[in-house]
């Protein structure tokens, strides 16, 4: 089992049923990252500051991404009752990931959930995209979708990503998601911030994603 996330290919399930060869759909993050520039100025300013300090922003970004992947992996193994194999990660990545994982465990104590899915792939045949949902769980009869983030802030793109996952999930599953949550895990101090997302914010985010999806197709014409 590979621990670091490889590029996932999302295929049309309808085509697979028809002829065994599904059309490959773009992923949610690919669509958003390539079309939505709302955070680019912040990222460019950060990269410039780090470069002036003599740091390589690309290396730093990859290090953060890998420690975030390791945090997700810890959570996944915890829910599945498996022992994590951390041979793909460095000591520093593991240390930060374990801090983020402790934040998750602290949050979990206050939210008695019945887990339904973990690292669950979804595909929208209507808009032709795919994604992998961090977790779906039940609490007090409500079906939650929870997106885990180890970033230092929650950005608009995170809410747009969640909206895309929710709509793809609801399209392919019988029981719809009724609550939407982003859980921010701090890899430095082990704290967490729980961000419930309102239906209005989710709907607005979905409108943005639909435009991003259309632009993704239009961009190919240029």
Cα distance between residue 168 and residue 185, in whole Å: 25
Q: Evaluate whether residue 185 is within a structural domain.
A: yes
Q: What share of the chain is helix, strand, coil (3-state, %, to 5)?
A: 50, 20, 30
Distance of CA 160 to the CA centre of its chain: 11
Spatial separation of the C-alpha atoms in residues 197 and 147, rounded to whole Å: 11
pLDDT of residue 200: 98
Per-residue confidence (pLDDT) for residue 11, from 0 to 100: 78
Domain housing 137 = 10-219
Query: Would 33 be classed as within a structural domain?
Result: yes
Which DSSP string do the residues of 167-220 spell out, in sequence order? HHHHHH-SSPP-EEEEEEE-TTT--EEEEEE-HHHHHHHHHHHHHHHHHHHHHT
User: What parts of the chain have a pLDDT lower than 50?
Assistant: 1-2, 17-20
Phi, psi (degrees; rounded to nearest 5) at 65? -65, -40
Q: Are 122 and 172 in contact (CB under 8 A)?
A: yes
Q: What is the mean pLDDT of the chain?
A: 89
2 assigned to some structural domain: no
Bridge-based pairing of strands 179-185 and 142-149 is: parallel
The answer to the question of residue 46 being in a domain is yes
**Using CA atoms, how far apart are residues 24 and 12, in angstroms rounded to an integer?**
6
Q: Is residue 113 part of a domain?
A: yes
**Rounded CA separation 17/84 (Å):** 34
* Domains contained in the chain, number: 1
Eight-class DSSP state of 151:
S
d(C-alpha 192, C-alpha 188), whole Å: 11
Query: From CA 181, how far away is CA 178, in angstroms rounded?
Result: 10
Residue among 105, 117, 119 nearest 143 (CA): 117
Quote the CA–CA distance of 132 and 206 in Å, as a whole number: 17
141 within some domain:
yes
pLDDT tens by residue, 98-144: 999 999 999 999 898 999 999 999 999 999 999 999 999 999 999 99
pTM: 0.88
In a domain, 103, yes or no: yes
* CB contact burial 101-113 (16+ within 10 A = b; e otherwise): bbbbeebeeeeee
Q: Is residue 1 part of a domain?
A: no
The per-residue pLDDT for 46 is 64
From the list 199, 212, 213, the residue with the least C-alpha distance to 170 is: 199
CATH number at residue 123: 3.90.320
**pLDDT digit string (tens) for 77-95?**
999 999 999 998 999 999 9
Given this model, what pLDDT does residue 17 score? 45
DSSP designation for 26: P
């Amino acid at each position: 089992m590979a621990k670091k996330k490889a590029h996932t290919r999302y295929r049309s399930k309808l085509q697979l049923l028809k002829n065994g060869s599904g059309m490959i759909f773009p992923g949610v993050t690919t669509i958003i990252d390539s079309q939505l520039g709302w955070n680019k100025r912040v990222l460019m300013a950060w990269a410039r500051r780090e470069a002036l300090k003599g740091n390589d922003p690309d290396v730093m970004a990859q290090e953060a991404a890998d420690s975030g992947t390791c945090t997700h992996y810890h959570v996944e193994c915890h829910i599945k009752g498996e022992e994590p194999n951390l041979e793909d990660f460095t000591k520093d990545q593991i240390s930060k990931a374990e801090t983020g994982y402790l934040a998750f465990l602290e949050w979990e104590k206050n939210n008695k959930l019945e887990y339904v899915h973990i690292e669950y792939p979804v595909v929208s045949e209507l808009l032709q995209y795919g994604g992998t949902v961090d977790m779906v769980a039940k609490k007090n009869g409500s079906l939650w979708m929870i997106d885990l983030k180890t970033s230092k802030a929650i950005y608009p793109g995170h809410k747009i990503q969640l909206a895309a996952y929710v709509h793809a999930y609801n399209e392919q599953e019988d029981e719809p998601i009724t609550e939407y949550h982003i859980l921010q895990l701090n890899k430095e101090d082990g704290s967490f911030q729980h961000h419930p997302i309102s239906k209005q914010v989710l709907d607005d985010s979905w409108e943005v994603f639909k435009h991003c999806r259309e632009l993704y197709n239009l961009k190919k014409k240029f």
